[in-house]
Amino acid sequence: MKVVVKFVEAYRPDAHRCWAAGGVAVELLDYHPLPANFSMLVMPLLEEDAGWICCRTLRGQQLLDVKGLIAEKLRQAHALTDAANRAFVHGDWRPSNIFIRHDPPDVRVIDLDWSGVAGQDRYLVRADPWLGLGRPRPEAVKCGAVMEQQHDVDIFATTFAIMY
C-alpha cells in the first residue's frame, strides 16, 4: 500500500478518526504529535489505479453527476459523532479535498487540517484556507469565527457554483 505522510499544525485526529470510522474520510493510519504544535499524519494514498479521482479535476456534466453523491457524504459526515457526542466540521469542503470513485460509487475527504468541533472550535487566526485562491468565500467562513456545519454546506455550494 502506498501512503501519504503529511506534516500539519494543530490537527484534530479525533475528527479524522470519527469521520474515517464512518466511511467519510480516508483512514488515519498513524498520528504523531511533534514539537511546536505540529503533527505527522500517515494515510493511504487514494490512487487513480483503484478508481479514485480528485473532484477538482471534474467539470460540467461530470461534476453534476457526482454532486448528489458528495452532498450525501457531507450529510453522513455531519451526522457522525465521537464517543464524547461531538459533531465535527471539515472547514475546507472544497473539491481539492474530495475524492470520488465511480465503481463502486464512493466519496472520501482528505485534508482535515481545518476541522474542528461544531459550535465550539474556531477557524484558525494565523492562516486563511481561502487566502490567495481568488474565489469568494461564504461570509461566515473567516478567521476566528466559530465553526458550524452549515459552513461546510456553504463552502461546497460556493465552490460547486464556481466550478460548474
Per-residue pLDDT tens digits for 112-154: 998 999 999 998 865 555 555 556 678 888 888 999 999 999 9
% of the chain at pLDDT higher than 90: 70
Residue 142 lies in a domain: yes
Strand partners, 108: 99
Contacts of 132 (CB under 8 A, 6+ apart): none
**Mean pLDDT across the stretch 24-46?**
96
Least confident span in 4-8, 59-63, 77-81? 59-63
Q: Between 89 and 158, name the one with better pLDDT.
A: 89
Domain count of the chain? 1
Digit-coded pLDDT (tens) for 52-68: 999 999 988 888 899 99
Tell whether 39 is covered by a domain.
Answer: no
- Answer yes or no: is 66 within a domain: yes
Q: Is residue 36 part of a domain?
A: no
Quick check: is 131 in a domain?
yes
Any domain includes 34: no
Which domain covers residue 65, as residue numbers?
A: 49-163
> Distance between CA 52 and CA 96 in Å, rounded?
13
- pLDDT for 164 beyond 60: yes
Tell me, yes or no, whether 67 lies in a domain. Answer: yes
Give residue 134's pLDDT.
59
